[in-house]
Amino acid sequence: MIWERFPKFVLGFVKASAVFSFALSPELVAGARGALGEIRTLWFAVAFVCIGLETCFIELASYEQGRPALASSARKAST
């Protein structure tokens, strides 16, 4: 039961962290840092685009008399 619900990406993260910390030379890690930073930024942007594509704004506006939509609009107006 626990294994089925466990987020498996955590194991990959721990493995990648161990490899970058102990198995690779510091020079190689420093060289890869720039490219990995660009890839991280790209995937971060893709994740938020996907979240936006999955958002149903009509449903959000009708949920609890539109309170979530109003709170989001008020926050945007204050910044």
- Please list the pLDDT of the chain residue by residue as tens digits (79 residues): 788 888 899 999 999 899 888 998 888 888 888 888 888 889 999 988 888 787 777 776 777 777 766 776 665 555 5
pLDDT reported for residue 74: 64
Q: What are phi and psi of 25, to 5 degrees?
A: -70, 150
**Rounded to 5 degrees, what angle do the CA atoms 72, 37, 9 make?**
75
Domain parsing of the chain, residue ranges: 2-78
DSSP readout, 16-65? HHHIIIIIS-HHHHHHHHHHHHHHHHHHHHHHHHHHHHH--HHHHHHGGG
pTM over 0.75: no
Q: Which of 7, 29, 2 is nearest to 18 (CA)?
A: 29
Contact 29, 20 (CB under 8 A): yes
